[in-house]
Chain A
């Protein structure tokens, strides 16, 4: 190709082939059970990645989160429709019902639950859904942007206070329960979920980070940004480094921590 030739013309349109690099890491922290589960799958329908953070006594949370991930991945394999937002919403409701119906060996309701944060990427378009307090970030131009909310009591308190339905004294009084989830899989009638009909167009170099609360409750957004930037020379190890940094900061108690990163190249 002679770039100095003024008569040069492009005979074929060059379409860059984008691809995804995916890396994940999970640590148990100081807990007895690992109640986080994660999964990512890539088919001709695109890539689906999700994290579920289980909760519930004994191993109930582990069962709930594993069930959620399995159901989502298996249903995605069966998926033939192009309507991804509808698929995500429908599946979240179905998983919610199944987790609600979980029973122990004595036939009693397990009472377990799980969060869910999932993204779907195809042809540079990203769709997502989130229930609970697991988060989805987009790292672009060296900055981290969180695109979902934490579905906890604090969210409700803020809305009540903003709308004037409670006073500041009531707000402060209720803050002790701020971290309690108000939406999660296993409620039986989950209705609060963060999703968006319009997809987000990814740019080359964007990194999507899905994580359980163990990450952002230990590292600040600035520290997470710094780690992602520091490992730009070797993206494959970013997830491991993030969980290692979490474990370095362990003092007395550290929750299960799971991170899943997708880099759009």
Chain B
């Protein structure tokens, strides 16, 4: 491979990593591809960028706290052994900031695969996302959250799926679970499930939908129709109207209204509505319309295992808050997700022959590591 000549504009980090291109940047820093001029390979790097001389004490502490959080997250990640997580090469401080260098996994992303596949079966979706689920479980167990689980951050190698992107600082377990289950839904339906977070992004990006937003706010909600509306949108953001035009635009819904859709308080708003919901519910739902945990969430025409449906409800529909860890734990132990546990290295023990010899010669062996 010919090395490109370093131009004057090339940014070199740590006197070693020549930045090739910035993949993503946000308020904290950036994720980029770089070339390691010592190990002679392309790597990915997450940089936490901070001003070197903060003027305020409060700001300085904030930067310090953020940097320590970053370092701790990556150190923890580096201790995890999973073929679905990129190998962390190094973690270094950079003034008030820091950077982490990790493996650049060369493989097509899940997003690229999904462009040619409209829908896959539940079994296929589960099989593809299982390694990522296991990796997330490992991370969450150690208090590290990804924050950017998406079809573009998951790459599909010949043997497994890899979470190729960096971990976030202010991410949480709920965010990861929501993203994972949204992705699964997308794979099975070919449609994009709008959550409160993704909806906010869509609204910010699309100014021409402001009128629709206002209109949707004023239109009384009809729960079953609303559910259908959410699922009627294709992934590329275009709107296909299956039922009422105004109510089909889930992207323009205010986040509060999204919660209302999922709210249990909508249940029993009318006897007609109740009867209608009872007809359209999946057969796996055992709850009655008056049950406070009863969900008005209908997952299209999919026939999902009870466990997964329960998990989706827990992840998206619990008004009190997301018990994301519970969801992941449920997935983890579910018969449909046979996730293996990370094997801990066994404690070092002294082979009996060495132990006997040491005892005979009154020698205390404090440690012994051997290939014998």
Residues of A that sit less than 8 Å from B by CB: 22, 24, 26, 36-45, 47, 66, 69-70, 73-74, 77-78, 80, 222-223, 226-227, 229-231, 233-234, 237, 241, 244-245, 258
Contact = CB atoms under 8 A, between A and B. Distances in A.
Contact of B370 (A40, A43, A44, A229): A40
Given A43-B366, A78-B357, A237-B78, A66 B39 contact: no
B354 A37 contact: no
A58 to B, nearest CB: 19
A73 B370 contact: yes
A39 B365 contact: no
Nearest to A234: B78
B79 interface: yes
A34 B132 CA distance: 34
Given A39-B369, A77-B354, A226-B16, 18 more contacts: A24-B371, A37-B371, A37-B372, A38-B371, A39-B371, A40-B368, A41-B367, A42-B367, A73-B354, A73-B372, A77-B358, A78-B357, A78-B361, A229-B90, A233-B78, A233-B90, A233-B91, A234-B75
A209 to B, nearest CB: 15
Contacts of A80: 361
B89 interface: yes
Contacts of A223: 38-39
A40 B372 contact: no
A40 B78 contact: no
A19 to B, nearest CB: 10
Contacts of A233: 71, 75, 78, 90-91
A38 B372 CA distance: 8
Contacts of A26: 371
5 contacts: A38-B370, A40-B369, A42-B365, A234-B78, A237-B78
B320 interface: no
B87 interface: yes
Nearest to A50: B370
A230 B368 CA distance: 26
B218 interface: no
B357 A230 contact: no
A40 B372 CA distance: 11
A231 B39 CA distance: 14
Contacts of B370: 37-41, 69, 73
Given A44-B363, A77-B358, A237-B78, A22 B369 contact: yes
Interface string B1-43: 0000000000000001000000000000000000000110000
Contacts of A43: 358, 363-366
A234 B72 CA distance: 12
A145 B16 CA distance: 21
Contact of A234 (B79, B101, B364): B79
A226 B366 CA distance: 31
B78 A39 contact: no
A69 B369 contact: no
A36 B91 CA distance: 31
Contacts of B78: 233-234, 237
A73 B39 CA distance: 36
A25 B235 CA distance: 47
B363 A77 contact: yes
A222 B75 CA distance: 24
A41 B365 contact: yes
B361 A231 contact: no
Interface in B47-106: 71, 75, 78-79, 87, 89-91, 101
A42 to B, nearest CB: 4
A42 B371 contact: no
B371 A69 contact: yes
A234 B89 CA distance: 11
A2 B89 CA distance: 43
Interface in B313-372: 354, 357-358, 361, 363-372
Contacts of A244: 87
B368 A41 contact: yes
